[in-house]
Structure formats: C-alpha cells, structure tokens
Amino acid sequence: MPDSSYHVTHERSKDRLSYSFDIYQIDITVVKDRRIHNGTFGEYNQPTYEVEMECSTDAFLKEKKLMMEKSNNNFTGMCKSKENNGDLIRYRLFIDYENVGKT
C-alpha cells in the first residue's frame, strides 16, 4: 500500500491514426500513461494499443433491411468482410510487434 502522503495522478496521452476505405473506418491508437508525483513526471509505462474497426451504420442498416425483406443483399458478405479484415489487422499487428528490434 502506498504511503498516505503519496498523491498519485496520471497523465494519459493518445496518438490516433484513422483510415477509411469503402464502408469501413479503422482507428489505431497508441496509449501511454505515466504517474505524476508532487509535480514531477515519471517515466511513461509501456504503451498499449487499441484497434477499432467500424462499419458505416447507413450501409449496415440498408443491407440488413434488404436481408429482412428477403431481397438481394450483401449483409452476410459485409459481416464476413469485417471479420476477415479484423483478423488480418490483428495478425499484422502481432507479426509487426513480434519483429520489433529484430532488423
């Protein structure tokens, strides 16, 4: 347990890249935080990474409506495409992380 006189606050910084293609948007965010003690900044912790993949709501709802009406639609294809793209992104991030410092 920390000393009761030890007042801890945090600084958190985010660096986000956003990519858009077709009906998808992908956000890749590097998150760093560090403690501040008595006005002195500590070292940043090991960064963490967040990956978000979003599908256009309008496109999703349009295809879902067509599917519910039993009309020609690409709802299943959209869902599979999102899943496959998400798998590819996770795979590439893992491979790139594993190879850091090996060049």
Q: Are the C-beta atoms of residues 18 and 50 closer than 8 Å to each other?
A: no
φ, ψ for residue 14 (rounded to 5)?
Answer: -125, 135
Q: Are the C-beta atoms of residues 93 and 61 closer than 8 Å to each other?
A: no
On the question of pLDDT at 97 being above 90, the answer is no
pLDDT in tens, 9-51: 777 888 998 988 888 888 888 888 888 877 787 888 888 888 8
- The closest alpha carbon to 50, from 18, 17, 33, 28, belongs to 28
Cα Rg of the chain, angstroms: 21
